[in-house]
Amino acid sequence: MSDPAAKPGTEAPAAPGSAGTAAAAPGPGTEPAAAAAPARILVVDDEYGVRSAVAQILELEGYEVASAASGEEALALLASPGFDIALLDYRLPDTDGLALHKDILATGRQIMTCMITAYADIDLACAATFQGIDFFLPKPFMPDDLLNVVATLVKRRQARAEEERLRREHEASLLALAEEKSQTHSLISSLRDAVLVINQTGDVVLANQAMTALLESTEPEVLRRPVAGLLRGGPLASLIDTLESPAKDRTIGQLSIGERDFMTSIVTFRAEDGSALGRILTLSDISQVRRLAMEKEKFIRTMVHELKSPLGAVRSIIEVTTDKSMGDDLEAYLPLLRRAETRIDDLVQLISDLLSLSKSEQAKAASEPQLLEVAPLVEAALAGQAEHLAARGITASVQVEPGLPPVLAPIEDLELILNNLAGNAVKYNRVGGSVTISARHEGEWVRIDVEDTGIGIAAENVDQVFTEFFREKRPETKGLEGSGLGLSIVKRLTERAGGRLQLASGLGEGSVFSVFLPA
Amino acid sequence: MSDPANGHGSADSGPWTMLFVDDDTDFLAAQEAFFGSRGHKVVTADSSADALEILEALNPDIVFLDLMMERYDSGFRLAHELRKREHLKDVPFVMLSGVARETGERFDQEGKGLLSWTKLDRFVDKPATGRQLLAVAEELLS
């Protein structure tokens, strides 16, 4: 090209645009030193003289310089990162400065560009500026002009990098904030507890799904409404006073809505300077916990009664004996003392049943389930009742379907199930009655029926017989001892083995307990 | 008041007509022997219904009631029912319970002031001995 090389001493017209301010920048040479690493500059000019002169000037100031004689060469160099500034000649053998600038933009590299040309005119300057070229330096120029321009570009690049860094940081924190907000929102929304947040003026700013369900409303309907107006006349009306002017920063209470019991908590949250920002109302449903607590309490009350009653009877019988209430003849006391023996045996049985019940409440049996043949276990259960069967003239029979598949259960659990049911079938039978245990395959199940010809169970008690300590009090059950835990244990063990228990009975019609176990 | 039948009774006790209501027939049998031997007339009922029926025609000096029979609060219900009867208005009622003293106030849930309107004179913890009950009877009937 015909551009003369930069010649010191020739005219140095002010560059258009902001070139004038470049001259006001701090002395050249200070900028690269200020940066952590020297700026890397690419000089693109087809004239060797210009390239080497420019490189020399810049290298003397501590810049790192690379040079290219064509657009293609320039783009090849720019393929590797690290350039801060590109000085582009307008006239190039394979392209022009504007087109090359476009190509550089297309690489996505953040590079400051300055166009250097002898063909400086206002149209080119405008085109370059609109295209985003950062500086325009007409040839010829003085070395100081070049250094000023480069120093300005270095400074601007640092400013732009800083700006970019801040923008990214800001964007990231906005994103994080938005994400946190939506996480918090969905977290609060999905809480089982009902949550209502009001601001310092008493308007609702947040209500989660559980809360709007309690208020039989929707979030848009409650948001920004004054809390007093929202709650008045509703199930939470009694909380209005505390929400508006609580005596303490944290108030805990209880509230019943319909059949549900709630624990209420009203907490004032404050800014760092101590001023109240608003309040959070939380309602936790404690119905289930309370119901379990009451059940447990009832269980313990009954258990204490069941343990103390026989002790009381035995204690009284011993007292009568030591008191010699019935004279000196021991014979007179024998009926009572035999009763005492029975009561103690029953007490021991009760304690062992309590232990079985406690074990049946564990999620897992003590031993692993195994494949069990039903027939021998049924026979064994009836054999255990032989004495009682004989004493009361009750006949027992077993009917097991040929080819019955084994059941999967822990052996001691199935033994306990069958022993309990066989025991009941004998105990609540009539003299001369019968007990039939049959087993057959039904779909995925092995069904074991324990059938008796006894006193049966009243229809209204059929569900209750599985409740701990429940025993039907009827003339027929008088004198029949039992812990009232047997069927609770049977039911729990059956269900733990993956099966279910079914009862068909009627007053005076005998009972059929059906155990379904996975085949 | 001064005629102990067999020398067990103390000088100023009885003979009384005593009603024991308890679903534990062994306990009843023992009380029958213990108090009967002391010259008292012992009547027993093993259910609330039984007690209501017996008391149609009985004027006891003292009634011992078990709390937990058909229900966990049978004793309260029975006492409340019996207090309505004119001839039982001032008869001492003694409640026997394994758990009543500790949990007594909880029965309030069944009805306000249940404890007071049953007008119980005494709670005795189970298991109670004949001697304990004798001491209570002597105190309440003196």
This model of the complex carries an ipTM of 0.80
| For residues A429-449, average pLDDT | 94
Asked if A61 and A35 count as a contact pair (C-beta separation under 8 A), the reply is: no
Within-domain flag for B133: no
- Say whether A313 and B24 touch across the interface (CB within 8 A): yes
Note the pLDDT tens digit of each residue in B27-71: 999 999 999 999 999 999 999 999 999 999 999 999 999 988 877
| Closest-approach residue (CA) in chain A for B101 | A301
| 8 Å CB contact of A339 and B29 | yes
Q: What is the pLDDT of residues A316-346, one digit of tens each?
A: 999 999 999 999 999 999 999 999 999 999 9
Residue A465 domain flag: yes
Pairwise CA distance, residues A164 & A108, whole Å: 14
Neighbouring CB atoms inside 10 A of A100's CB total 26
Is A122 inside a domain boundary? yes
Confidence band, pLDDT 50/70/90 cuts, at residue B116: low
Question: Among residues of chain A, what percentage have pLDDT more than 90?
Answer: 46
Domain count, chain B: 1
**Residue of A27, A68, A29, A62 whose CA lies nearest to A50:** A68
User: Does residue A130 form part of some domain?
Assistant: yes
What value does the mean pLDDT of chain A take? 86
Q: Give the model confidence (pLDDT) of A364-374 as tens digits.
A: 887 888 999 99
What is the β-pairing status of strands A112-117 and A85-89? parallel
Tell me the C-alpha to C-alpha distance, in Å, between residue B129 and each of A23, B74, B75, B95, B132: 115, 22, 19, 14, 5
Residue B76: what residue type? Answer: F
Look up residue A40 and give its two tokens: 């890397």
In this structure, what token pair is assigned to residue A458?
């009243």
Which of A89-98, A174-183, A317-326 has maximum average pLDDT?
A317-326
Number of folded domains in chain A? 4
Q: CA of B5: which chain A residue's CA is closest?
A: A325
Helix, strand and coil in chain A, % to nearest 5: 45, 20, 30
Give me the mean pLDDT over the A270-292 stretch.
Answer: 89
pLDDT of residue B7: 42
- Three-state DSSP at A122 gives helix
Compute the residue count for chain A: 519
Tens-place pLDDT, residues A143-154: 888 899 899 888
Give the residue from A227, A218, A287, A219 showing the smallest Cα distance to A257: A287
Domain end among A235, A256, A285: A285
CATH number at residue A486: 3.30.565.10
Strand partners, A67: A43
Q: Read off the CATH number of the domain in which B30 is found.
A: 3.40.50.2300
**CB-based contact (8 Å) between B72 and chain A?**
yes
The answer to whether residue B76 sits within a structural domain is yes
Helix axes A486-496, A411-427, angle to 10 degrees: 150
pLDDT attached to residue B8: 46
In chain B, the residue whose alpha carbon lies closest to the alpha carbon of A322 is: B34
Q: How confident is the model at residue A495 (pLDDT cuts 50, 70, 90)?
A: very high
Note whether residue A374 is domain-resident. yes
Please give the structure tokens belonging to residue A315.
Answer: 């204690």
* Residue A326 lies in domain: 290-360
**Residue A310 falls within a domain, yes or no?**
yes
**pLDDT of res. B118:** 64
pLDDT of residue A138: 84
Domain termination residue (choose one: A326, A360, A394): A360
Q: CATH no. for residue A127?
A: 3.40.50.2300
* 3-class DSSP assignment, residue A63: coil
CA–CA distance from A302 to each of A170, A298, A424, B69 (Å)?
Answer: 66, 6, 21, 11
Total Cβ atoms within 10 A of residue A492: 21
For A188-203, letters b (16+ CB in 10 Å) and e give bbeeeebbbbbeeebb
Is the model's pLDDT at A194 over the cut of 70? yes
Q: Can you tell me the mean pLDDT for A441-470? A: 90
Residue of B6, B20, B25, B27 to mutate, testing the A interface (most A Cβ within 10 Å of its Cβ) = B27
Q: Which residues, 6 or more positions from A198, have their beta carbon under 8 angstroms from its beta carbon?
A: A204, A205, A227, A243, A278, A279, A281
Distance CA A384, CA A64 (A): 102
Cα separation values, A501 from A359, A428, A484, Å = 18, 19, 17
- Rounded distance between C-alpha atoms, residue A440 and residue A446, angstroms: 6
pLDDT band at A69 (very low <50, low <70, confident <90, very high): very high
The DSSP letter of residue A91 is B
- Judge whether residue A35 has pLDDT over 80: no
Contacts of B99 in chain A (CB under 8 A): 301, 304-305
A256 & A299 share domain? no
Q: How many CA atoms lie within 13 A of A461 on its CB side?
A: 16
Strand locations in B17-74, DSSP E?
A: 17-21, 41-45, 62-66
Which of the given ranges, A13-27, A279-293, A459-473, has the highest pLDDT on average? A279-293
* CB of B133 closer than 8 Å to CB of B18: no
Alpha-carbon span A502 to A421, nearest angstrom: 12
Reported as a pLDDT band with limits 50, 70 and 90, residue A184 is confident
Confidence (pLDDT) at B19: 97
The answer to whether residue B58 is domain-embedded is: yes
A365 in any annotated domain: no
Average pLDDT estimate for A153-171: 87
Q: pLDDT grade, residue B26 (50/70/90)? A: very high
Q: Read off the amino acid at residue A513.
A: F
pLDDT (average), residues A210-220 = 90
Closest Cβ–Cβ partner in B33, B103, B127 for A308 = B127
Range of the domain at B85: 17-126
Sheet hosting strand B122-125, strand order edge to edge: B41-45, B17-21, B62-66, B93-97, B122-125
Chain A nearest-CA residue for B66: A309
Q: Same domain for A355 and A380?
A: no
* Residues of chain A contacting residue B127, judged by C-beta atoms under 8 Å apart: 308, 311-313, 315-316
| 3-state SS assignment for residue B71 | coil
Q: Which two tokens stand for residue A291?
A: 């119901």
Q: The domain spanning residue A246 has which CATH number?
A: 3.30.450.20
> How far apart, in whole angstroms, are the C-alpha atoms of residue A400 and residue A491?
22
- CA dihedral sign, ordered A473, A476, A480, A483: negative
Pairing of strands A112-117, A135-138: parallel
Residues A406 and A295 in one domain: no
Residue A148 to residue A477: CA distance in whole angstroms:
113
Which whole number is the average pLDDT over A54-80? 91
CB contact under 8 A, A309 and B24: yes
A392: closest CA of chain B, how far (Å):
23
Q: Is residue A2 part of a domain?
A: no
Question: Which residues of chain B lie closer than 8 angstroms to A323, CB-CB?
Answer: 8, 34, 37, 130
CATH of the domain at A315: 1.10.287
- Computed on alpha carbons and rounded to an integer, the radius of gyration of chain B in Å comes to 14
Check residues A122 and A78 and name the one with the higher pLDDT: A78
Q: Quick one: closest CA in A to B102, which residue?
A: A301
Q: Are A454 and A396 in contact (CB under 8 A)?
A: no
Q: Give the span between the Cα atoms of B27 and A451, in whole angstroms.
A: 35
Token representation of residue B142: 């003196």
% helix / strand / coil in chain B, to the nearest 5? 40, 15, 40
Please indicate, yes or no, if residue A6 is contained in any of the structural domains. Answer: no
Give yes or no: residues A87 and A158 share one domain: yes
Verify whether the Cβ–Cβ distance A343 to B31 is below 8 Å: no
